[in-house]
């Protein structure tokens, strides 16, 4: 009986270390938290008279904006310790995740255009700004399947990317 209990505890402990969400495959929650410290405050404690993102945007919009922030922000570090390829990979994965969330929302809500999405849900980043960077990173990494998927979305929605 003691061995079974130990095995269950070990499995439970191992499952705690597995990613709970797609975002955890990109970076750990601790690493994300470190870089989100400068993101506008979205916590529960509010100061009377202050304006917060949650006053204007829903949780899904804020979540997508945070993903874009993690993808696009400049992360300072010593130049001889930087891994440029790893940084590009991380940015590509965050941008692709943001793309999936954006596309899903457009389809769910049957929005007529990306401009309508931008008007309702974009906070700091307009789709045209970051979709071009996603395409560039996918093309550069030779991820043909995802590149074609994103390119088709851009063409179908008649988006002018920068």
Asked if residue 3 has pLDDT above 60, the reply is no
Helix count (H) and strand count (E) of the chain? Answer: 7, 0
Q: How far apart are CA 27 and CA 66, in angstroms?
A: 13
Q: How far apart are CA 18 and CA 24, in angstroms?
A: 9
What torsion, rounded to 10 degrees, do the Cα atoms 154, 158, 159, 161 define? 80
Neighbour count for residue 145 (Cβ, 10 Å): 8
Asked if residue 24 has pLDDT above 70, the reply is yes
- Whole-number average pLDDT of the chain: 87
1-4 LR contacts (CB < 8 Å, sep 24+): none
This prediction has a pTM of 0.83
pLDDT at residue 45 in the model: 84
The length of the chain is: 162
Asked if residue 79 has pLDDT above 50, the reply is yes
pLDDT at residue 20 in the model: 62
- Using pLDDT thresholds of 50, 70 and 90, give the confidence band for residue 6: very low
- Using pLDDT thresholds of 50, 70 and 90, give the confidence band for residue 162: confident
42 vs 28, higher pLDDT: 28
Residues 115-143 have a mean pLDDT of: 96
CA dist 55 to 3, 102, 119, Å? Answer: 52, 21, 16
Residues 87-100 pLDDT 10s: 999 999 999 999 99
Q: How far apart are CA 19 and CA 57, in angstroms?
A: 27
């Amino acid at each position: 009986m003691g061995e079974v209990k130990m095995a269950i505890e070990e499995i439970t402990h191992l499952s705690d270390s597995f990613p709970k969400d797609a975002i955890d495959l990109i970076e750990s929650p601790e690493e994300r938290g470190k870089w989100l410290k400068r993101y506008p405050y979205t916590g529960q404690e509010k100061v009377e008279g202050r304006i917060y993102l949650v006053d204007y945007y829903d949780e899904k919009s804020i979540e997508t904006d945070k993903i874009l922030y993690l993808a696009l922000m400049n992360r300072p570090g010593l130049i001889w310790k930087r891994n440029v390829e790893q940084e590009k990979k991380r940015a590509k994965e965050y941008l692709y995740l943001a793309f999936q969330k954006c596309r899903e929302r457009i389809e769910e809500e049957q929005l007529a255009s990306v401009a309508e999405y931008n008007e309702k849900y974009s906070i700091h980043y307009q789709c045209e700004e970051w979709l071009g960077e996603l395409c560039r990173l996918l093309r550069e990494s030779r991820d043909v399947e995802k590149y074609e998927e994103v390119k088709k979305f851009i063409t179908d929605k008649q988006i002018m990317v920068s």
